[in-house]
Structure 1
Amino acid sequence: MALIEQEVKIALEAESFARLKSGLGLDGVAPRQQVNHYYDSNQSALKAARAALRLRQYDQVSEWTFKQALDQFQALEITQTNAERLDSVPTSLAGAWIQDAGILGALAKVGLAPQDLVVRYGFQTNRWTLNLGWGELVLDQTLYGDQVDYELELEAQDLHLAQDYIAKLSQTYDFPLLAADKKIARVSAYYAELEKNK
């Protein structure tokens, strides 16, 4: 199913994350753990198209998601949900891993077929979610390599309301309003820097 995702993402420091998590009453709540793997062609065609293909695995289910940025706050998102977690993460997508016509069509629009894609990055995210009724507030702790980073996301249909709400949280819990890059951008920058320093 295709949808337009709208969200505001704010980068947090560890102390701000802890303060916000506590203030929102999420300290005693276990996070939902997810392991994400991102795929692209050897020529980084998805990255060039401001798109990504992600395999997200939870405890019992998994999902393939194609995302393509439309602007700073919006992205086209198409997801294929699988009834079970995959036994292993495929290193390439030759075969019938992806069956959703929407995802296959989106890949074709950027000149790719599943067999053109290989796994590029993997990381784990611990996610705390709070339903606000009009939007979904998410606190993420993401682990990759020797890094841990933190972010606040607010997904809502009304972006102005989301931005105002985050501004109030910023004042209440004393954190700066620093826009967060997408997770895949942060992870790929980290690994590119490691590669450069070899």
Structure 2
Amino acid sequence: MSEHLEIEFKTLLSIEEFSRTVDYFQLKPDQFFTQTNYYFDSADFQLKKRHIGLRVRVLSKNAEITLKIPEKVGLLEINDALSIEKAQHIVETATFPDSGNVFNKLAILGINKDDLRLIGSLTTKRAEIKLPQGLLALDESWYNEQHDFELELEVDDASNGKNDFIVLLDTLNIKESPSPNKIQRMILSSK
């Protein structure tokens, strides 16, 4: 389990900006990995109304369940590790565990786990690079007939991180394009 404050800056990229960034960092195809996020909410969108995100992320060898809750700065991210089999069971049945840090936080928030249902999914091919400024993620994502590209910089300090993000975009010759988070893009695309 982990619980930490996630502070990240992100921008959508054109395919040209994505390719240029791959070239700049000399990324090879084997440096990218694939993950699928499955998003959940209640029928009346109790989580969305509070700007909370709940996902099950499945990778090739492991999985996790994550709850993201807005804070004054960034998002409180609560994770519990899952086996691939347990993650697939949750995705197929929307039956969530009766224990764990995510379950406990949902209970505190007054969200009944039995009210949750799958609302959509998004698959991402991602490369991560540790930079002095923070963790850079370069994403290519597919969801609801959509295909997009995104650059994220996860940092420890919001004010320094914003400056570092702007400098990074300038270095890469990228114009910042506001990027709703992945669950927001997935929901908007399904309307």
TM-score between the two structures when normalised by the length of structure 1:
0.87
The residue type paired with residue 23 of structure 1 is Y
Partner of 2:47: 46
Give, in whole Å, the separation in 1 of the partners of 2:133 and 2:168: 16
Partner of 2:149: 150
Give, in whole Å, the separation in 2 of the partners of 1:109 and 1:165: 36
Give, in whole Å, the separation in 1 of the partners of 2:3 and 2:62: 19
Q: 1:89: Cα distance to partner? A: 5.1
Q: 1:27: Cα distance to partner? A: 3.8
SS in 1 for 2:128: strand
The answer to whether the 8 Å contact 1:36/1:56 transfers is yes
Unaligned runs of 5+ in 2: none
RMSD, matched Cα: 1.9
Unaligned runs of 5+ in 1: 193-198
Identity among equivalent pairs (%): 26
The answer to whether the 8 Å contact 2:64/2:80 transfers is yes
- Greater shift, 11-20 or 53-62, is seen at 11-20
The answer to whether the 8 Å contact 1:92/1:117 transfers is no
The answer to whether the 8 Å contact 2:97/2:103 transfers is no
Q: 1:147: Cα distance to partner? A: 1.2
Structural mapping, 1:1-198, within 5 Å: 1-71=2-72, 74-85=74-85, 86-88=87-89, 90-94=91-95, 96-97=96-97, 99-100=99-100, 102-192=101-191
Give, in whole Å, the separation in 2 of the partners of 1:36 and 1:77: 15
Q: 1:88: Cα distance to partner? A: 4.9
Residues 1:82 and 1:140: Cα distance change in structure 2 (over 3 Å): same
Q: 1:36: Cα distance to partner? A: 0.7
Give, in whole Å, the separation in 1 of the partners of 2:163 and 2:30: 26
The residue type paired with residue 104 of structure 2 is G
The answer to whether the 8 Å contact 2:8/2:153 transfers is yes
Give, in whole Å, the separation in 2 of the partners of 1:28 and 1:187: 25
Give, in whole Å, the separation in 2 of the partners of 1:15 and 1:116: 42
SS in 1 for 2:84: coil
Q: 1:103: Cα distance to partner? A: 1.3
Give, in whole Å, the separation in 1 of the partners of 2:71 and 2:42: 21
Partner of 1:195: none
TM-score between the two structures when normalised by the length of structure 2:
0.90
The residue type paired with residue 151 of structure 1 is E
Deviations 1:106-126 (A, max 9, x none): 212332121110000111011
